[in-house]
Chains A and B, each alone.
Chain A
């Protein structure tokens, strides 16, 4: 139990997917102009990342490794992620057309989120067990959502601040995200050499 909790917290905070591994920077800059959009994107990514971990672990363990097809891993995982996004879109549409109308806009963007592929490849490289893989993906996605929401909150405030013209827009956003990355470094400790 303790090891699973540590896994979730370390993947969310210490090895944060955006600020620690520098994956998924595209949605971090693109969908963080509003908090509600960041929450929607974060939750959708959490779902897709966890389901992609489930399917990725299963296919890698039952198909790619036994048949020595490890060299097909990256392309297989890309296919898995695209299929998972498509599957999620179909399910949400079937489960509730109204929800799909509200949330469907975020789903296609996840296909091109490198954080989803990065997490799927990392959990295979670390030879995790099935449950650890799912929890690692969940923790990574929670960290991703946390940063997205924090960053969106800061950007909403920045939008009404009196920022020097030279820094207005993306430049000040990059400065803010770099300060956030420094803050997250604190979770890993500064004494590592």
Chain B
């Protein structure tokens, strides 16, 4: 008899996207974390000792993604921790960063095409729409930031050898 796991799995349950980060700095009650780079093969079991992270471009990219959390768990430099963000945050963030500018850009272009019926006017309006959309996106992102929607949460210390794959 073949058993199917889907009958026991609740796919609609709210979930959290988890990642692993390294504590690189502790300042009072604030800990600075550097996320570990996930691998695309999905089979690597040695992220903590991975040599491919040494490439300068990757390191610079990871440096850009450094973030801070409240150090309530008395973390020290070198600790590996599991952090999480709610999965709907990623959706909201993607919509804010990409869909708002795109929607305003296409709306402006469509209105210009309807009004003038000429490619150059449509192109100009589309570019203006893109810039305006980015302004709106910036305001929306600022509001999300103020509300704390984008902040990752500390979940637990990572187990030895645990990876995000």
Name A residues whose Cβ lies closer than 8 Å to a Cβ of B: 4, 30, 33-36, 39-40, 43-44, 46-47, 50-51, 54, 57-58, 61, 91-93, 95-96, 98-105, 108, 129-131, 134-135, 138, 156-157, 160-162
A-B contact pairs, 9 of them (CB 8 A): A39-B90, A39-B91, A40-B90, A101-B67, A101-B150, A103-B90, A104-B61, A138-B102, A162-B5
CA of A99 to CA of B142, assembled, Å: 10
A161-B5 in contact (CB<8A): yes
CA of A23 to CA of B3, assembled, Å: 36
Instruction: Write out the residue numbers on chain A whose beta carbons fall within 8 Å of the beta carbon of B110.
Output: 4, 131
CA of A101 to CA of B105, assembled, Å: 24
B149 to chain A, nearest CB (A): 9
Name B residues whose Cβ lies closer than 8 Å to a Cβ of A: 2-6, 9, 11, 17, 40, 42, 61, 64-65, 67, 85, 87, 89-91, 93-99, 101-102, 105-106, 109-110, 113, 119, 122-123, 126-127, 130, 134, 137-138, 141-142, 144-145, 150-151
A46-B98 in contact (CB<8A): yes
CA of A165 to CA of B73, assembled, Å: 42
Instruction: Write out the residue numbers on chain B whose beta carbons fall within 8 Å of the beta carbon of A131.
Output: 109-110, 113, 119, 122
Task: Given A39-B91, A40-B90, A131-B109, decide whether A96 and B141 contact each other with a Cβ distance below 8 A.
Answer: yes
A36 to chain B, nearest CB (A): 5
Instruction: Write out the residue numbers on chain B whose beta carbons fall within 8 Å of the beta carbon of A36.
Output: 17, 87, 90-91
Instruction: Write out the residue numbers on chain B whose beta carbons fall within 8 Å of the beta carbon of A33.
Output: 42
Task: Given A46-B102, A47-B98, A131-B113, decide whether A54 and B123 contact each other with a Cβ distance below 8 A.
Answer: yes
A159 to chain B, nearest CB (A): 9
CA of A70 to CA of B137, assembled, Å: 36
Instruction: Write out the residue numbers on chain A whose beta carbons fall within 8 Å of the beta carbon of B5.
Output: 160-162
B139 to chain A, nearest CB (A): 9
* The 4 residue pairs across chains A and B that have the minimum distance between CB atoms: A96-B141, A47-B98, A43-B94, A98-B150
Instruction: Write out the residue numbers on chain B whose beta carbons fall within 8 Å of the beta carbon of A54.
Output: 105, 123, 126-127, 130
